[in-house]
Amino acid sequence: MKKKKLIRVTTADISLNSLLRGQLNYLNQYYEVVGVAKDTGVLDEVAAREGIRVVDAPLERPISIGKDIKALLFLWRLFRREKPWCVHANTPKGSLLAMVAAWAARVPNRIYLVTGLRYQATTGMLRTILKTMERVTCCCANHVIPEGEGVKRALREDRITGKQLQVVHHGNINGKDTSYLSREATSELLRAENEETRLMEDTTPFDGRRYMREKLGYTDNDFVFILIARMVRDKGINELAEVMSRLVGHSADLSRQPKLLIVGEKEVQSGGHITPEAQRFLNDSAAVFYAGLQKDVRPYLIAADALVFPSYREGFPNVPMEAGAMELPCIVTNINGSNEIIIDGENGVIIPAPVDCDGHLIQFASDDPQGDGFSSPMAKALYHSMCDFIKKTDNTNRMAANSRRLIQERYEQRDVWEALRQMYAEL
């Protein structure tokens, strides 16, 4: 029996490569899967790994009327030629053009997976334009899938669409492979590394966490918070630097010494809006270590005691899921995705985010010092949460023990894939 043709569209191939890794190969067992994206250098790699056919499309992320019309015509001709049973798109620009083209080509099933709402981080005319783009995309789709309950709520509250909204499984686009994201698998990786470096001589039994902490210079007396993020204000960098500076200043009152392990580029990104005070502390403090960009974050997660993720806005973030799978309790802000992954008091703590219901900033770090010396309620909550993680060992260990189980129960990768396949089967 001939398989139905399923076309998956993202703006660039890096999204096919990272966001849908493994999923395309799984779905290709049941459908003829075709990947469509702009080739930035990894499209052939996606084709080989996933075992699917791919098409290089002239899609661009920035708004460009001339290029966007060209891309729209390209997709329309492609869909007319391929005659797919379903076009399923995610990422904003690729989804807009794919849904309009699929509607014009009379593709019977048009799925828009909403992974984030770009307009939430904007104001003025740009916000109006981006909201209009979302409305058009949803209008041309006949199935709209929010990545999580927070995105679903925003689509309703902002009146983006009146269509039925269906979150697949418990949310998230691809789930997590917890056999890969495990302390056991990471220890095996580090065991092989140790056989070359001989950093640890006493290796029976081998302890990957101890190996990595020794490699990074941490002792048992250090409590290591890990941050995996870009150096921009919206990741909560200013507040985190403020809080870490205060923790270091009061370290004599703490049972363990606070340390911050940053996985990501050290350089502040253009337009990052990091304060000079924050930059100075993060660059100069002995309590802060930059690991740089890493393809594999597992060795750094295994070395840490907790994740701190004070982001202002996300769609459905991967980092707290990865940390949870690696048995780390998390401190997150009360934003889309994060407040679904973390159950307050069970596998982490949820603190306020400095944004209003429309996603607008209420205040910047250090703009409006409170009477207690903190720059914002978020900074104060972050400080007390980090203190509690260090001081209340039993509670921190309890949340850590819950973390992996909760990720496995709700976001195991195979379960997400199977739920998606079931959704296709019901179309």
Give pLDDT tens digits for 233-269.
989 999 999 999 999 999 999 999 999 999 998 887 7
Residue 365's pLDDT is: 44
d(CA 383, CA 242): 9
Helical packing angle, 124-140 and 92-104, nearest 10°: 40
Helix intervals (H) in 180-236: 183-197, 208-216
Distance of CA 132 to the CA centre of its chain: 25
Residue 119's pLDDT is: 84
The pLDDT-based confidence of 357 (bands split at 50, 70, 90) is: low
* Position 272 pLDDT exceeds 80: no
Residue 288 three-state SS:
strand
Helix intervals (H) in 222-314: 237-249, 276-284, 298-303
* Position 356 pLDDT exceeds 90: no
d(CA 300, CA 323): 10
* Position 117 pLDDT exceeds 90: no
Encode pLDDT of 141-180 as tens digits: 999 999 999 999 999 999 999 999 999 999 999 999 999 9
Cβ(200)–Cβ(211) below 8 Å: yes
* Position 426 pLDDT exceeds 50: yes
Strands 143-146 and 109-114 come out as: parallel
Closest CA to 113 of 132, 77, 86: 86
Sign of CA dihedral 135, 137, 143, 144: negative
Kindly report the average pLDDT of the chain as a whole number. 93
Span 333-344, average pLDDT = 95
Residue 203's pLDDT is: 63
Query: Is the pTM of the predicted complex or chain greater than 0.75?
Result: yes
Encode pLDDT of 13-69 as tens digits: 999 999 999 999 999 999 999 999 999 999 999 999 999 999 999 999 888 899 999
Residue 372's pLDDT is: 74
* Amino acid found at 359: G
Closest CA to 231 of 253, 188, 262, 256: 262
Q: Which numeric CATH code is attached to 5-175+414-425?
A: 3.40.50.2000
Residue 202's pLDDT is: 66
Span 117-128, average pLDDT = 85
Encode pLDDT of 365-401 as tens digits: 445 555 678 888 999 999 999 999 999 999 999 999 9
Residue with the bigger pLDDT between 119 and 344: it is: 344
Q: What values do phi and psi take at 45, rounded to 5?
A: -65, -40
Cβ(362)–Cβ(354) below 8 Å: yes
Residues of the chain with CATH 3.40.50.2000: 5-175+414-425, 183-411
The pLDDT-based confidence of 358 (bands split at 50, 70, 90) is: low
Residue 116's pLDDT is: 81
The pLDDT-based confidence of 364 (bands split at 50, 70, 90) is: very low
CATH architecture for segment(s) 183-411: 3-Layer(aba) Sandwich (3.40)
Residue 206's pLDDT is: 87
